[in-house]
Structure 1
């Protein structure tokens, strides 16, 4: 199978469903071998929705496109699990060209002063520190490979604006933007680009749970809650996981080799006003 990414190897974290799944399948369609991971737990303290998903199904869909796949449970809060996942990726592919840091959680509904330590720490550890840990494992491999690389951090419009009730989420995504920009400067000489994708409201199970929370808190139907959450969107549409994946595909493309330290906004105009 040929494609613009033929001969390349990629990692996508949080790939069992939603944006991660769509990104992994888009990379495979473009010709890349893809290693995928997800937390591998049905539930997590402080997170009120089901975690993980059918990671093996995603791996089979990658292989159905004629590409190699690696699928492992991996909690990005645990460096030993990350190292094991990286070792399995290198054993299977022998190289690493692309890292998409997609693993993340979304909880909210209360002001910052009412968050407890576990809520704050879990959010930062997964959304921000987890991306740093994964990059810390990936960058030396890319440097040794000598062909450059692409790192895409899935941030959020919440990395640019403040969203009341989601202070810990905003802090994690603002932090991810800072990490993106600093690493872009550090790695430019190695021909490794580091960029962030910043979606608005994406139609995923994670966002659906947040919508249900808003509906329950305000006595709204799910449809009414979605309409409320779409208020900051200038274009009154939910963003699809496939639209996020298409934006990632640009950032890992050959034309984007001179794009680094950027934030690609796919937020339906949220950050424009």
Structure 2
């Protein structure tokens, strides 16, 4: 199950995971984009189901997990990737509605997903692996709005708590601490303020934006048996931004 899959990191992950043999259930709010992605994957010989939904709505998430189980028999892995944020309004000038949206998508979205996914993994008896998308903003202020920074810190907290609570069921839970990545959301920010691109990469050892597939590869590793002794981790995929 891949959330935020209509574009960017989520769509890249869907293509990569399917190419490596996973059956994928892709979800986001934009049904048309999801259906196009699933059709592309099936045309390449992969297995994919598209289920539109909003991660902030618990009933939608339950429905998506149910579809995964119905279509493929169980749920072995989840990439809780949906997120939302924006750049640079001072905290006291940030509208409460912006705070609510940042917390709902980034924190409640992960919460809803974990609550629906983990019971299925326990019931299967097979264990499982979950990867949550956090951010460099989960470690330090990045220039994004304060609610986004707070939300991504919270994603890391949920990740560590879930890893501790579900390890006995052979379920691993990790987070990706993602740096600036060339996604649709970031491209829109650059269109509005072109100077932001240079600011986004100024801290990085590798001074460029990540391609979405570079983040997807890290998620694929964490979801796979190759990372069988990794849980509760916060794995940086940030071009070295967090190293200095």
Common fold: TM-score over 0.5: yes
In 2, the alpha carbon distance for the partners of 1:229 and 1:99 equals 28
> 1:228 Cα shift?
2.5
> 1:64 Cα shift?
2.3
- What is the root-mean-square deviation in Å for CA atoms of aligned residues? 1.4
Matched, 1:244 2:215: yes
Q: Figure out how many residues of one structure are paired with residues of the other and give that number.
A: 244
**Mean Cα deviation higher: 13-22 or 87-96:** 87-96
In 1, the alpha carbon distance for the partners of 2:143 and 2:69 equals 42
Matched, 1:87 2:87: no
Q: Which residue of 1 aligns with 2:13?
A: 23
> 1:109 Cα shift?
2.3
> SS state of the match for residue 211, structure 1?
helix
> SS state of the match for residue 71, structure 2?
helix
> 1:271 Cα shift?
1.0
> 1:117 Cα shift?
1.5
Aligned pairs for 1:164-175 (under 5 A) are: 164-175=143-154
In 2, the alpha carbon distance for the partners of 1:69 and 1:235 equals 34
Q: Greater Rg, structure 1 or structure 2?
A: 1
Structure (1/2) with the larger helix percentage? 2
Matched, 1:63 2:34: no
Matched, 1:231 2:236: no
Aligned pairs for 1:32-181 (under 5 A) are: 32-40=22-30, 54-181=33-160
> SS state of the match for residue 173, structure 2?
strand
Name stretches of at least 5 consecutive residues in structure 1 with no aligned partner. Answer: 1-10, 41-51, 216-221
> 1:186 Cα shift?
0.4
The CA deviation string for residues 64-120 of structure 1, in whole angstroms up to 9 with x for no partner, is 232322112111111111111122221111100001001111223211111122110
Q: Any conservation in 1 of the 2:82–2:106 contact (CA below 8 Å)?
A: yes
In 2, the alpha carbon distance for the partners of 1:194 and 1:67 equals 25
Q: Which residue of 1 aligns with 2:240?
A: 269
Q: Any conservation in 1 of the 2:85–2:144 contact (CA below 8 Å)?
A: no
The CA deviation string for residues 48-68 of structure 1, in whole angstroms up to 9 with x for no partner, is xxxx76111110122123232
> SS state of the match for residue 51, structure 2?
strand
Matched, 1:200 2:179: yes
The CA deviation string for residues 149-202 of structure 1, in whole angstroms up to 9 with x for no partner, is 000001111101112452111011000000001100001111100000111110
Q: Any conservation in 2 of the 1:106–1:210 contact (CA below 8 Å)?
A: no
In 2, the alpha carbon distance for the partners of 1:246 and 1:163 equals 23
In 2, the alpha carbon distance for the partners of 1:163 and 1:66 equals 40
Q: Any conservation in 2 of the 1:142–1:149 contact (CA below 8 Å)?
A: yes
